[in-house]
């Protein structure tokens, strides 16, 4: 019975998280339109921020509740799933062709984010510290890099018009009051859903005898990556490969510099010895994506690449289960 309750908390919490994120995007997009913000800016900020909102809420809730393994596992696992699982699903639908700027600028930024997490999180190795922990100083550095990334995005938005996801371009425009209400309801849904999800995940880990970081790297990570999955699949079906890959890469950068930055400022995030392997795996997945697009014909991911990525993710998940 206790197992069923834990599972119900996870399912209900995840449903509230997704619904809250969707409601929040609608409200925020409408507010942006009402305020006269350029559509490309809406696509690059609203969508990118709020598809990562579940990861933010889950990581903050976990850190404040003392479940720091879930906080770090959620971000690292989500980034790995974003690339190896979500882009695999998109590559099955259609070949994903991207511009050179995505291959040589945005993807390397996600690689930099992974490298910075490895360096900043290894105090024992790089700073002669007593233990590995992400503290307030690390969080401020991450937010500094995030500001640089947003400056780049702003320059990108100002430099070309581009296209935005259909769910933003075709989003209805509400009055200010209704837009604000949608935004507020979405935020409440994210907080409530995140709390239920974390409670269920922690209980499930305890009942099954599994470590919290395993739950964070698998169930929590995949669950909170669903907004990115939906957005990328919709973009792929509509022929917007740059949006599909850009959403995944952008979310990966946000997850480290924005989410872990805020989380580390609010509460210290210790890194276990096993977490280093998972961070290296996350870095490797970004590098696989970079190499695939750099040497692929006309900078595109094909179904063959998708199969390779899925196989890598399946092997990694099997390793996680065996490790614990």
User: What is the CATH number for 125?
Assistant: 1.20.1420.30
Q: What is the pLDDT of residues 34-74, one digit of tens each?
A: 766 554 455 556 666 766 777 788 888 888 887 777 788 88
Residue partners of 185: CB distance under 8 A and separation at least 6: 20, 23, 24, 27
Does the pLDDT of residue 271 top 80, yes or no? Answer: yes
Q: Decide if 21 is inside a domain.
A: no
Give percent of the chain with pLDDT exceeding 70.
Answer: 84
Q: What pLDDT digit, counting tens, does each position of 227-262 carry?
A: 777 767 777 777 767 667 777 888 888 899 999 999
In a domain, 184, yes or no: no
Residue 203, in any domain of the structure = no
Average pLDDT of every residue of the chain:
80
Q: Is residue 265 part of a domain?
A: yes
pLDDT in tens, 166-177: 545 555 677 878
pLDDT for res 234: 72
**Contact partners, residue 38, CB within 8 Å, separation at least 6:** 157
> Rounded to whole angstroms, how far apart are CA atoms 102 and 125?
32
Note whether residue 295 is domain-resident.
yes
Radius of gyration of the chain (CA): 19
Residue 161 CB coordination number (10 Å) = 9
Residue 83 is classified by DSSP as I
Q: How many domains is the chain partitioned into structurally? A: 1
At residue 272 the predicted structure's pLDDT band, cuts being 50, 70 and 90, is confident
pLDDT cut 90: percent of the chain above it: 13
3-state secondary structure 186-254: HHHHHHHHHHHHHHHHHHHHHHHCCCHHHHHHHHHHHHHCHHHHHHHHHHHHCCCHHHHHHHHHHHHHH
* Structural domain contains residue 7: no
**Does residue 196 lie in a domain region?**
no
| Separation CA 21–CA 187 (nearest Å) | 8
Residue 41: predicted pLDDT:
54
Indicate the pTM of the whole model: 0.78
> Is residue 71 domain-resident?
yes
Local confidence band at 106 (pLDDT 50, 70, 90 cut-offs): confident
Q: Print the domain residue range for 103.
A: 40-55+67-166+212-323
């Amino acid at each position: 019975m206790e197992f069923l309750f834990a599972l119900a908390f996870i399912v209900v919490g995840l449903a509230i998280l997704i619904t809250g994120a969707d409601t929040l995007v609608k409200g925020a997009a409408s507010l942006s339109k009402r305020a006269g913000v350029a559509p490309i800016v809406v696509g690059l900020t609203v969508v990118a921020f709020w598809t990562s909102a579940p990861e933010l809420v889950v990581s903050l809730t976990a850190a404040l509740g003392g479940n720091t393994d879930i906080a770090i596992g959620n971000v690292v696992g989500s980034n790995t799933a974003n690339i190896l699982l979500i882009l695999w699903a998109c590559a099955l639908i259609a070949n994903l062709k991207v511009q050179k700027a995505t291959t040589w600028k945005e993807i390397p930024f996600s690689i930099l984010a992974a490298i910075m997490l490895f360096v900043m999180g290894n105090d024992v190795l790089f700073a002669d510290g007593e233990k590995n922990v992400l503290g307030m100083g690390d969080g401020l550095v991450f937010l500094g890099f995030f500001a640089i990334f947003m400056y780049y995005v702003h320059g990108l938005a100002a430099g070309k018009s581009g296209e935005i996801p259909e769910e933003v371009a075709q989003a209805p425009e509400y009055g200010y009051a209704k837009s604000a209400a949608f935004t507020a309801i979405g935020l409440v849904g994210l907080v409530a859903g995140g709390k239920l999800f974390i409670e269920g995940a922690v209980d499930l880990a305890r009942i099954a005898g599994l470590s919290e970081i395993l739950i964070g790297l698998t169930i929590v990570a995949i669950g909170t990556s669903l907004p990115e999955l939906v957005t990328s699949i919709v973009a792929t079906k509509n022929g917007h490969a740059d949006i599909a890959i850009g959403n995944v890469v952008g979310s990966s950068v946000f997850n480290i510099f924005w989410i872990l930055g805020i989380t580390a400022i609010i509460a210290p995030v210790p890194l276990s010895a096993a977490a280093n392997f998972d961070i290296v795996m996350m870095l490797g997945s970004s590098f696989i994506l970079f190499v695939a697009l750099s040497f692929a014909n006309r900078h595109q991911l094909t179904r063959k690449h998708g199969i390779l990525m899925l196989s890598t993710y399946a092997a990694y998940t099997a390793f996680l289960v065996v490790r614990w």
